[in-house]
Amino acid sequence: MSILVFIETEEGKIKKSSREAISFGAALGETTALALGSVSEEELATAGQNGAAKVLHVADDRLNAGLIQPYAEAIAAAMESTGAEVLVTAKSSLADAVVGRVAAKTGAGLVSNVVALPDTSNGFVVKRSIYTGKAFANVSVTTDKKILAIKKNAIDLKQDGGAAAVEALSVSLDDALFGAKITATEKAEGDVLLPEADIVVSGGRGLKGPENWGMIEDLAKTLGAATGCSKPVSDMDWRPHHEHVGQTGVKVSPSLYIAVGISGAIQHLAGVNSSKYIVVINKDEEAPFFKAADYGVVGDAFDVVPKLNEALKKAL
């Protein structure tokens, strides 16, 4: 089975979610990765640690803008030139827009939110997460070519491989594909960004005001985590809107989600219930969030969080 993995980069570095996609592909068979735009050969070679045998690099500077149409054209051309039967990518806002077009160009069957390796004992059956992580569906893919978009943090990350060979790939891209222009980009800020975070510490109205957010940031710093918040908190401008976690905000699936002073409205739960472990800290023992929690602490956040942070500093 020939596997091609589309890898996304941010500021010249391969994203963790793309490294997970490479690990997924390597578990299926010999894997070739594909990078678009300006990335150093040294960085691309590190894809071998995650299981890529080689990396094909389309070093066209016009691709640095991340425009959807040329990305789709380049990926479809790479599938054609490599004879790839399966395209693997991380599920992301960029990939969601690109792989649908690739599927249309190549006639591939597309499955998104994939959480496990396909069952090939009787066909090609893929398990995917549905209903914001509340259930799973097994999807049979019957097309010759297949595209799998892997849910973040759903796949074990392989990190014991060697360096991958990096080869230039020439793809002809018509100027008409670059007709759109991105005039401005507003990026989320922070040491660790929510979409890529393995640990998230979020706060809610129980913190009583923005002046008390220091203990959330301190705990996040200790854990190497991203910070998040509930919708009411961002609506009141206590925290920036890019930290809003929930159905209408950022949906996260970290290994650990710590909710401090958040009651657990259904809209918030929809954005976090794919987390592997959820820890809730709330002084209201009737808070709905406790029903979704793996671990819960009934107590005043202003007492619990500083003590937890100090204990973690000693343990880590």
Residue 307 sits in a domain whose CATH number is 3.40.50.1220
Per the structure, the count of domains in the chain is 2
Is residue 188 a part of any domain in this protein? no
Q: Does residue 117 share a domain with residue 216?
A: no
Contact (Cβ atoms closer than 8 angstroms) between residue 20 and residue 88: no
The last residue of a domain, from among 178, 203, 218: 178
Q: Does residue 258 share a domain with residue 157?
A: no
122 is annotated as contributing to ligand binding:
no
109 is annotated as contributing to ligand binding:
no
pLDDT in tens, the chain (316 residues): 899 999 999 889 999 999 999 999 999 999 999 999 999 999 999 999 999 999 999 999 999 988 999 999 999 999 999 999 999 999 998 999 999 999 999 999 999 999 999 999 999 999 999 887 778 999 999 999 999 999 988 888 999 999 999 999 999 999 999 988 888 776 666 667 787 788 999 999 999 999 999 999 999 999 999 999 999 999 999 999 999 999 889 888 899 999 999 999 999 999 998 898 999 999 999 999 999 999 999 999 999 999 999 999 999 8
214 is annotated as contributing to ligand binding:
no
128 is annotated as contributing to ligand binding:
no
Strands 135-140 and 125-130: antiparallel
- The enclosing H or E element of 31 equals strand 31-36
Is residue 189 a part of any domain in this protein? no
Is residue 186 a part of any domain in this protein? no
Q: By residue range, what is the domain housing residue 301?
A: 194-315
Q: Does residue 202 share a domain with residue 293?
A: yes
Q: Does residue 157 share a domain with residue 209?
A: no
159 is annotated as contributing to ligand binding:
no
Is residue 152 a part of any domain in this protein? yes
- The enclosing H or E element of 109 equals strand 109-114
Give the CATH number for residue 19: 3.40.50.620
The last residue of a domain, from among 178, 204, 233: 178
263 is annotated as contributing to ligand binding:
yes
Q: Does residue 121 share a domain with residue 71?
A: yes
264 is annotated as contributing to ligand binding:
yes
CB within 8 Å of 139: residues ≥ 6 apart: 111, 125, 126, 127, 128
37 is annotated as contributing to ligand binding:
no
262 is annotated as contributing to ligand binding:
yes
228 is annotated as contributing to ligand binding:
no
